Amino acid sequence: MIVSLKVARLFCLAFLFLCLVLNLPLFSPDLRPGFWMAAAGSTSVSGSFPPKTRPLVIAIVPKSLDNPVFVDSMETAMSTAKELGVKLEWVAPFKVDPDLQVKIIEGLIWRKVDGIAISTSDPEKIRKVIDKAVEAGIKVATIDADCPESQRLFYCGTDNYKAGWACGEAMVKIVTERGLADKRLKTAILTGGIEAHNLNERIRGFKEAVAGKLDLEYVALLACDDDTTTGAKVVEAYIKEHPETDLFYFSGGWAFFGPTESMPLYQEWCNNGGIAVSMDTFYSVLQAAKKGFAQALVGQDFRKMGELTVKYLVDAINGLPVPMEYIDTGLELADESNFDLLLSQKKPWEMK
Amino acid sequence: MKLSKTVFTGFQNRLVNTFKLRSLRSKFMLSFVFLSTIPLVILAIFSYGVYHDILQQNIQSYTSEVIDRVDRNLEIYLSDLERILELRNDYYNLQFIKLSLAGDVEGNRKFIFRLWENLNNIRNFKTELRDVSITTIGGVTVGCYGVTHTDLAQNVLFQTLANRTAKDDSIAIWGPHPDWLGGPVFSVGKAIHGDYDNFLGMMSIDVDVELLERICGNIRLGKTGYIMLLDEENRIIYHPNRELIGKGIGALLGEASLADWQQDFTTKRRLGNQIVRVKTFAPANWKIIGLSNRFELATEMQKITGLSLTIILSTILVLTLMAVYFAHLLTNPLKELQQSMRHASEDLNTNVEIHTMDEIGELSETFNQMLARIRQLMKQSLQEQEKLRRAEMKALQEQIKPHFIYNTLDLIIGLLETNKNEDVINTVEALGAFFRTSLSQGQELITIREEAEHVRNYLYIQRRRHGDKYDYAIEIEERLLNKKTIKLILQPLVENAIYHGVRELETPGGLILIKGFLLEPANTICFQVIDNGAGMEPAKMEEINRCLRESGTGQRYFGLSNVNERIRLAFGPEYGLALSPTPGGGVTATIKLPVVEGKG
């Protein structure tokens, strides 16, 4: 009985050894689960993912998921990716959160995607992780919001300074037409994130465009973290407290993405002669402008952003040259003269 | 029986010798300490065993309870997730899946945006949720972080659900595994089926393994015991020491120990003195393992032992002190009594001064009474002895009356003058014998023979002096002659019979008869001195008898009273002398004596 037990034990050991030898290739570094390493310490970037036999995977990381401005970009990016035979992932924090955006990018690095395009919510925080991704051999681009001084391959999006300049010029035109150019005008600005480079560029462009032409007193810089509801709320609250404000510059159209009925005081302010110029020419923003919520709009071409970003990123992954480091997707100007035309050409988001 | 008795006696002797148990106090103390300590020690030993068992059972039951609690918490958490997963058939989910599978990117914009919002809202319900997502059979996943692509072949959760029938609506669990951000999560999912029960994909929730830390982290089994969790491949998925997470359990507890861990609540005792209890968390086929350290049990027991020993030793010390105190309390009166008795043996005037209300107090009281009685008796005895000596002295003085001696000497001179030498010799011999018996070397008791001889000598001398005026006879039973009597009791009676009886007769013919016989029924010796002399007035006789009965009134009728007093002092008041008239005239003096055997 004891002898048979010993034999059985020996047989089992031999079988286990054989299994181990046969399964060794399965434990190649690419397939080794990284979880246990991650569990022992922080998220590791040394883990590998499947070899290149799979289709190319590129990821676009907008600032947040809840901002509908990126929906057009996502659509064209996905269509382009489908055409090019690559897999596109669209990943971001639900709301603007630079730290979480960094984590998400680190996850992509760990998974060793082939390319990443990022809409930078905070250049200071994102720059490091971009460099880390580049060092890991991933092609990295920026979309919509650039991250200067990083090792990103290219930026695809609006020239935000130009966009801001266009807004400034539109403001100068309207104020002059109303005969207020020689008055000192109290001006409030709504932005998304205080640290967002693209928005700051727009504000800079706006200010430099009006400088010398108008006498503006910048009385407030309001931030809404790219949140549509917050945007409308802070504007409404500010106008309630400061109805004497003369001008409003919106560096993004967040306040008008939702129903305008939530901004009665602002509407009253507009009816009382308030002048507003806003970025973005989405359907809902055009609708609001037509109601008098803004006298001029400067739009971005998000569809082109999605399309070109995927195209050039795939090119870069495939070793093809990217035509330029700064890919400008152009601007779209709107005022009372073409609101109806543009509304007829665009469609609402209908997301809610 | 005999052997055991011998052994017991030997033990007792040895005990007595070893502890020098010679005093009542030491015996009492040792008995008290023994009787108090032995039950205490037995109780301590018994309690130790019982406590040890109870402690071990408590540890096991506590561990089981804790494991049950972990199991219950995991189940509750899982049921919460299951309820969340019931949202999988939400309209937006199904529309997203359908449009995604159809490749309608534009049509899906409305649903994808809504899904992001919904899924993020769900994730915010619980802090441990890392992601909530919908995965289609096309490999597209929409979750809290956007849209990703999933390698379905590598996704165990998806494969599990895909391989189930549409009727199997239960949840599936996968992991822990790294999520797409690289963090450790375990995934819980439910299948999503189309209108025709066709498998469309799944809704899944990624839960951070921190949850396990939250559920198990604060649990401590004793000081060093803990809970850990194993996945179905026996890898550690939770351990207080994070460095061990991901390692096989074999490295920690030994491969062999895994063999029979299939049942709930298996208990194992490892060489490392750990008590291991295991329960399988059935939904995920995880194992919840509770490890308690037996050394802690030993430490606890050491504490108990130390405490018990301290209590026992303290109790013994207290008991010993109490024993000393009580022994002192009990034996001190005894010791006092002993000293008093010793003192009393030298001085009967001592009294025991113990006034306790117990037996010793009573004993002391009795002893005092006894001493008083002894003193009284001794005093009485001394008085009686004194009285007896005085009586004897007086009797002796009576015997040696000068005129009796002068008369006898005159008689002897007369006989010499008449040359009756033979009579002289006889008279002198009688006189000598008379005085010899009177003195009798100071002895109080003499034989009846000697007493009879004494009175015979006296009568011989008196008859020589008084001529043939009366006669005498002595009739004493032979068997009485060797019995004892006090001396000089017949002579005074004979003297009275001569001087107040037969000498008063006007004519010769007087007779003095001395009889001695035994009264059989009463076993009393009776002497009678009977004369037929002048007799006595009855009143006088009555008065004399009264005087004789009332002892101590012997100033009158001294001769009779002296005899009567001496008899009563020597033998008791039931004996003595009484007078009665002799039928036909004269007086009969009767003496009653006890039978006292002479030597030889």
User: Given an 8 Å threshold on Cβ–Cβ distance, is B145 in contact with A93?
Assistant: yes
A160-300+333-345 maps to which CATH number?
3.40.50.2300
Per-domain residue ranges of chain A: 57-158+303-321, 160-300+333-345
The size of the A-B interface in CB pairs under 8 A is 99
User: Given an 8 Å threshold on Cβ–Cβ distance, is B176 in contact with A35?
Assistant: yes
Give the DSSP letter of residue B478: G
- With b for 16 or more beta-carbon neighbours within 10 A and e for fewer, the B539-568 pattern comes to eebeebbebbeeeeebeebebbbbbbbbbb
Q: B400-597: CATH homologous superfamily? A: Histidine kinase-like ATPase, C-terminal domain (3.30.565.10)
Peptide bond between residue B176 and the one before it cis (omega within 30 degrees of 0):
yes
Q: How far apart are CA A276 and CA A335, in angstroms?
A: 11
Residue A71: its pLDDT value, please? 85
Query: In chain A, whose CA is at the least distance from the CA of B186?
Result: A35
DSSP string, B448-463: HHHHHHHHHHHHHHHH
Q: pLDDT (tens digit, 0 to 9) for every residue of chain B, 600 residues total?
A: 667 777 777 776 776 666 666 677 777 778 877 887 788 888 878 887 887 788 777 777 888 888 888 889 888 988 999 999 998 888 888 888 988 888 887 788 788 888 898 999 999 888 889 999 999 999 999 999 999 988 898 898 999 999 988 888 888 888 788 887 778 888 999 999 988 888 999 999 999 988 888 888 878 777 778 888 888 778 888 888 878 887 887 767 665 555 555 554 445 555 456 777 888 888 878 888 888 777 776 677 777 778 878 888 888 888 888 888 888 877 787 788 888 888 887 887 878 777 777 787 888 888 888 888 888 888 888 888 777 767 766 665 565 567 778 888 888 888 888 888 888 888 888 888 888 887 776 677 889 999 999 999 989 888 888 887 889 999 999 999 999 998 888 988 998 899 888 888 888 888 999 999 999 887 899 999 999 988 889 999 999 998 888 865 545 777 888 888 888 888 888 899 999 999 988 999 999 999 998 764
Q: How far apart are CA B519 and CA B501, in angstroms?
A: 26
Residue B400: its pLDDT value, please? 56
User: Given an 8 Å threshold on Cβ–Cβ distance, is B148 in contact with A66?
Assistant: no
Q: Are A144 and A329 in contact (CB under 8 A)?
A: no
- Please report how many Cα atoms fall inside a 13 Å half-sphere around the Cα of residue B501, on the Cβ side: 30
Q: Which fold has domain B54-299?
A: Beta-Lactamase (3.30.450)
Q: How far apart are CA A210 and CA A275, in angstroms?
A: 14
User: Given an 8 Å threshold on Cβ–Cβ distance, is B145 in contact with A43?
Assistant: no
Mutate to test the interface with B, among A12, A26, A64, A65 (most CBs of B within 10 A): A65
- The distance of A94 to chain B (nearest Cα, Å) reads 7
User: Given an 8 Å threshold on Cβ–Cβ distance, is B106 in contact with A92?
Assistant: no
Task: List, for residues B330-384, the tens digit of each pLDDT value.
Answer: 778 778 888 888 888 788 787 877 777 778 788 888 888 888 888 888 888 888 8
Partners of residue A350 in chain B, C-beta under 8 Å: 109-110
Amino acid at B226: Y
- Name the residue facing A71 among B103, B109, B178 (closest C-beta): B109
Task: List, for residues A280-330, the tens digit of each pLDDT value.
Answer: 998 999 999 999 999 999 999 888 999 999 999 999 999 998 888 889 999
Partners of residue A90 in chain B, C-beta under 8 Å: 146-147
Q: At what angle do helices B490-499 and B558-571 cross, to 10 degrees?
A: 160
Per-domain residue ranges of chain B: 54-299, 400-597
Give the DSSP letter of residue B23: S
Radius of gyration of chain B from its Cα atoms, rounded to whole angstroms: 64
Structure tokens at A4: 């048979």
Q: How far apart are CA A268 and CA A273, in angstroms?
A: 9
Residue A12: its pLDDT value, please? 41
Q: At what angle do helices B105-123 and B91-102 cross, to 10 degrees?
A: 140
Q: Are A178 and A137 in contact (CB under 8 A)?
A: no
Partners of residue A82 in chain B, C-beta under 8 Å: 103, 105
Query: In chain A, whose CA is at the least distance from the CA of B247?
Result: A36
User: Given an 8 Å threshold on Cβ–Cβ distance, is A35 in contact with B181?
Assistant: no
Q: How far apart are CA B3 and CA B383, in angstroms?
A: 59
Q: Are B427 and B461 in contact (CB under 8 A)?
A: yes
Residue B550: its pLDDT value, please? 80
The CA angle A226-A230-A233, to the nearest 5 degrees, is 140
- The distance of A51 to chain B (nearest Cα, Å) reads 13
- The distance of B147 to chain A (nearest Cα, Å) reads 5
Q: Are A126 and A105 in contact (CB under 8 A)?
A: yes
Question: In sequence order, which residues have a C-beta less than 8 Å from that of residue A157 and are 6 or more positions away?
Answer: A119, A142, A143, A144, A145, A146, A198, A300, A305, A327, A328, A329
Q: How far apart are CA A152 and CA A70, in angstroms?
A: 20
Partners of residue B177 in chain A, C-beta under 8 Å: 33, 35
Q: Which residues of A touch B (CB under 8 A)?
A: 33-36, 38-40, 43-44, 47, 50, 54, 57, 65-66, 68, 71, 74-75, 78-79, 82, 87-94, 103-104, 106-107, 110-111, 349-352
Q: How far apart are CA B327 and CA B25, in angstroms?
A: 5
- The distance of A43 to chain B (nearest Cα, Å) reads 6
Q: pLDDT (tens digit, 0 to 9) for every residue of chain A, 352 residues total?
A: 444 445 445 544 444 444 334 443 333 333 333 334 333 333 332 333 444 567 899 999 999 998 888 888 998 999 999 999 999 999 999 988 999 999 999 999 988 999 999 999 899 999 999 999 999 999 999 999 899 889 999 999 999 999 999 999 999 999 999 999 899 999 999 999 888 888 999 999 999 999 999 999 999 999 998 888 899 999 999 999 999 999 999 999 999 988 889 899 999 999 999 999 999 998 999 999 999 999 999 999 888 999 999 999 999 999 998 888 889 999 999 999 999 999 998 888 765 5
User: Given an 8 Å threshold on Cβ–Cβ distance, is B147 in contact with A89?
Assistant: yes
- Strand, coil or helix: B544: helix
Residue A196: its pLDDT value, please? 86
The two domains A57-158+303-321 and A160-300+333-345 share their CATH topology (first three levels equal)? yes
Q: How far apart are CA B450 and CA A77, in angstroms?
A: 169
- Please report how many Cα atoms fall inside a 13 Å half-sphere around the Cα of residue A316, on the Cβ side: 26
A57-158+303-321 maps to which CATH number?
3.40.50.2300
